[in-house]
Structure formats: structure tokens, C-alpha cells
């Protein structure tokens, strides 16, 4: 079983014109965001089938949804970059990331798998205690575009409940596995009062790579307003029972973590400030 996040999640997002976040009223965000994403991002972006767009044309009877956003990056005159980590928590990797972030006094946003949260709630509570924020990354990291509406909703709701059970408050941000959306999951994210956070910059190196290559790619390409995607877990590989030792995704994650100090130092040397998603939105003058 491969790591589904690596099929799209490790790639950089093309920069999307002048306005880099989308807003729409209620569940209509599913249609408008998906149509633009398909044209602008191709197969690596958020995608929606026509059926999903039709299905998400409006919220369920009697439900009124507010304004929610799909965000890849933001425009800001402040030199800020959001650091985000996906696919955790992990009994080893998450703690290594937390310690490195502490060393540089950097705060980040962790998009967690609910199933892993129930096994390792202490990692999530510790991340919050250290000033980081937590986002929803589904229950078991499945491709939501291939799920039934009921399964998609179940994936979001169980993660939402797991995070709330661990830290006392529900996550306000949602990131779909592989960055892939359908109308149903977009609507359910809106029902949960969650903005959808994608990314504009990833590790950029295929395969396992080296820490030097990963750090160089990020530092050479980062811009103010970017949302940087890294990882502190192995996603669905954590659910496998057929592995005698570390799986193929773990080494890839270890390389990212080994690169993290150089990434932070390079970002700081460029005069950019690492922050959370909420901090980046605040720097852009956007209500978090």
C-alpha cells in the first residue's frame, strides 16, 4: 500500500493568479472552488466531478451555512509563511518535529488523522500546550473523492470528534488527504464550520530524497504568503499490520524531519517568519 499523500501531497501547487484564496457562501463553495481548481491545478489540485458539483449545489433542507474558504496561499505584505504538518500524530516523528520547532520558537499547524489521535492523544495535547494548532485530516486518510457521501461525512466527523475529545475544542481547519475534494466533503467541512486549507509549497523532491535536497527546494522557492506542506506521520501506513519494520513512507518522512532545521534557518535567513495557518491569515488581514 502506497502513501496516498505522496501522490499529490508532496508536490508543489502552481501559484494561482493574483487572488489565492476563494470564498463563497454556504455549500456553493464546493462548486466554485472545484471548477477553478480543476482548471488551474489539473490533476494535482482539488477536483470535483460534475455529479459532485450538482449534489453540492445547496445545503441540506433547513441548514444554512456561512462563508467558508478554500485556501492555497494568501497575499500579504508581511513576510509570513505557514508551516503545516500532515498525517500524524506518530509516536516518534511528531515528538521530533515538536522539539525542533521548540528549538527555533516556531509555531505550526498539524493536520491529524483521527484514528491516530485516539491512539496517541498525548501528542496532540502536547502540541497544543506548546502553542501549535490542530486541523482535521480525516479519520483514516482515505481519498474522499472515492468515498460514498456517508463515508466522506463519517471520515470528517470522527476526526472532528477525536480532536475535540483530546483537546477540548473542535478543529477549525480541514485538509483533505492528497488535497483532493469532492462536493460532499466540502459541504460537510462547511457544516463543521471549517475552512479548507491546501498548500502552495511542498518538499518538491520525489522518492525519498536527501535532507539537503528537500531543504534547498523549500528555501529556494518559498515566498511570503505560502502554506508549506511537510509531514510528521506516515498516514495510512500506520494502519498496516503486515510490516515487520519501518515502512517505505517512514524514511521519506525522516528525510523531511532531518531537513526541518535547515528549512527553518533558510526561511528565517530570507527574512520570512514561520507561523501557523491562523497566524498567516492574520498577517494577511484575513479573519482566521
Q: Where are the beta strands (DSSP E) in 35-162?
A: 67-71, 80-88, 109-112, 133-136
For this structure, is 86 an active site residue?
Answer: yes
Residue from 117, 65, 61, 53 nearest 91 by CA: 117
Task: Tell whether 245 is covered by a domain.
Answer: yes
Q: What is the total residue count of the chain?
A: 288
Active-site pick, 3, 68, 231, 232: 231
Q: Which among 103, 132, 155 is positioned nearest to 260, based on CA atoms? A: 103
pLDDT (0 to 100) of residue 44: 33
pLDDT tens-digit map of 82-97? 999 999 999 999 999 9
Domain count, the chain: 1
Dihedral sign for Cα atoms in the order 150, 155, 156, 157: positive
Report if residue 212 sits inside a domain. Answer: yes
DSSP, res 201: B
**Tens digits of residue pLDDT in 25-82:** 333 333 333 333 322 332 233 333 434 434 444 555 555 666 788 999 999 989 999 9
User: Does some domain include residue 120?
Assistant: yes
User: pLDDT tens digits for 235-273?
Assistant: 776 666 665 656 678 999 999 999 999 999 999 999 999
Is 231 tagged catalytic?
Answer: yes
> Of 17, 20, 33, which is closest to residue 226 (Cα–Cα)?
20
CB 74 within 8 A of CB 225: yes
- What per-residue confidence (pLDDT) applies to 241? 62
CB contact set of 63 (below 8 Å; sequence gap of 6+):
191
pLDDT computed for residue 46 by the predictor: 39
- Residues 145-164: what's their mean pLDDT? 93
Domain that holds residue 14: 5-283
Q: Which of 86, 182, 195, 232 is catalytic?
A: 86
Global pTM?
Answer: 0.82
Between 20 and 192, the more confident residue is 192
Q: 505584505: which residue's cell?
A: 77
19 band by pLDDT with thresholds 50, 70 and 90: very low
Residue 33 lies in a domain: yes
Question: What pLDDT sits at residue 39?
Answer: 26
Check residue 200 and report its DSSP letter. Answer: S
- Which has the closest alpha carbon to 269: 200, 219, 212? 219
pLDDT value of residue 36: 32
111 touches 84 (CB < 8 A): yes
Of 252, 215, 204, 211, the residue nearest 232 (C-alpha):
252
Q: Above pLDDT 90, what percent of the chain?
A: 63
Q: Looking at residue 75, which CATH number applies to its domain?
A: 3.20.20.370
Average pLDDT, the chain: 81
Instruction: Kindly calculate the radius of gyration of the chain based on its CA atoms and give it in whole angstroms.
Output: 17
Q: Is residue 288 part of a domain?
A: no
Q: Which of 104-113, 142-151, 230-239 has the lowest mean pLDDT?
A: 230-239
Residue 269 within any structural domain of the chain: yes
75 and 20 Cβ atoms separated by less than 8 Å: yes
Q: Give the integer Cα–Cα distance in Å for 163 and 194.
A: 13
pLDDT at 184 over 60: yes
Amino acid at each position: 500500500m502506497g502513501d496516498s499523500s505522496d501522490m499529490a501531497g508532496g508536490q508543489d501547487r502552481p501559484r494561482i493568479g493574483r487572488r489565492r484564496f476563494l470564498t463563497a457562501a454556504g455549500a456553493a463553495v464546493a462548486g466554485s472552488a472545484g471548477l477553478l481548481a480543476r482548471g488551474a491545478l489539473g490533476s494535482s489540485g482539488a477536483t470535483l466531478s460534475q455529479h459532485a458539483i450538482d449534489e453540492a449545489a445547496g445545503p441540506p433542507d433547513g441548514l444554512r451555512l456561512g462563508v467558508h474558504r478554500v485556501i492555497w496561499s494568501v497575499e500579504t505584505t508581511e513576510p509570513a509563511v505557514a508551516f503545516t504538518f500532515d498525517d500524524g500524530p506518530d509516536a516518534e516523528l511528531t515528538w521530533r518535529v515538536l522539539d525542533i520547532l521548540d528549538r527555533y520558537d516556531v509555531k505550526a499547524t498539524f493536520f491529524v488523522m483521527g484514528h491516530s489521535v485516539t491512539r496517541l492523544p498525548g501528542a496532540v495535547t502536547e502540541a497544543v500546550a506548546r502553542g501549535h494548532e490542530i486541523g482535521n485530516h480525516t479519520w483514516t486518510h482515505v481519498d474522499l473523492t472515492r468515498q460514498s457521501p456517508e463515508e466522506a461525512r463519517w471520515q470528517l466527523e470522527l476526526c472532528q470528534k477525536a480532536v475535540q475529545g483530546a483537546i477540548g475544542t473542535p478543529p477549525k481547519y480541514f485538509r483533505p488527504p492528497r488535497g483532493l475534494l469532492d462536493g460532499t466533503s466540502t459541504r460537510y467541512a462547511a457544516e463543521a464550520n471549517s475552512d479548507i486549507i491546501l498548500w502552495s509549497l511542498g518538499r518538491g523532491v520525489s522518492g525519498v530524497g536527501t535532507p539537503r535536497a528537500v531543504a534547498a527546494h523549500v528555501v529556494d522557492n518559498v515566498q511570503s504568503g505560502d502554506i508549506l506542506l511537510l509531514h510528521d506521520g506516515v498516514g495510512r501506513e500506520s494502519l498496516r499490520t503486515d510490516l515487520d519494520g519501518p515502512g517505505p513512507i517512514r524514511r521519506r518522512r525522516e528525510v523531511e524531519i532531518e531537513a526541518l532545521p535547515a528549512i527553518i534557518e533558510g526561511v528565517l535567513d530570507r527574512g520570512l517568519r514561520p507561523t501557523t495557518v491562523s497566524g498567516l491569515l492574520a498577517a494577511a488581514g484575513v479573519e482566521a
